[in-house]
Amino acid sequence: MGQELTIQLVSKGARVAMVDISREGLSETEKLIDSDVCTKHLLDITDHDAVMAFKEQVILSHQAVDGLINNAGIIQPFVNVNDLDSSTISRVMNINFFGMVNMTKALLPHLLTRPVAHIANVSSMGGFIPFPGQTVYSASKAAVKLFTEGLYAELKNSPVGVTVIHPGAVNTHIMVNSGLKTEEEMAQQEKSSSAKMISAQKAAEIMINGIERNKFRVLVGSDAGLLDKLYRINPKFAVNLIVKKMSNLIT
């Protein structure tokens, strides 16, 4: 998802500081863009000191930063909380929530000095409706949702706009990046799956459009829109429907 966001931002004339914990991921994206307008930064966003050093580096490289998209995230193994080990819980929360907090805290003081700036945090449809077997992931994304909405309230009268993004099922490498499947297994699943996932290209287009329009909230994909409406009307029914649909995924 980060790769497609970068490609589309560059096509719109933006200069982008690419951040990834994977050197291979950075190099792969660099091959697809005009690298003269981008910098790449190998960074563990859960490392507070490293993030603060990154802030100084990126401002030095680009002179100014006008936007921050917190898109990094992983899911958990498809198991119930009772069977989830503490280290996995910590890893999911550290990457999905505290990493986003670190990046926001590092760059917000600078963003507040800009004439116009924006922060977009990527939550999930799992951030407003629970998915069994993904309870900790959903909790981390719900934390992203509330943090971002609180940030919006605090920055309402500032030059910094704030958007929370809730993607539904997007065809990305999140299963591989989360260590749950190999590239080959994902390719096979995509061939056999009847589920309709929105492409990363379309998802990035919707996200960037929402940021450009300074939207408070962006839903990505028809599944996210449908579940959002259903959960508002009848939360218990919506949760029971999700349980039924996902029963074969939980080990």
Query: What are the catalytic residues?
Result: 137, 141
Nearest to 224 by CA among 4, 210, 214, 213: 210
Q: What whole-number distance in Å separates Cα of residue 195 and Cα of residue 67? A: 33
Cβ contacts of residue 140 below 8 Å, gap of 6+? 73, 92, 93, 96, 97
How far apart are the C-alpha atoms of 192 and 96, rounded to whole Å? Answer: 29
* Residue closest to 86 by CA, chosen among 78, 72, 96, 76: 76
Phi, psi of 139 (to 5 degrees): -65, -40
How far apart are alpha carbons 85 and 61 in whole angstroms?
A: 40
141 closest CA partner among 154, 122, 118: 122
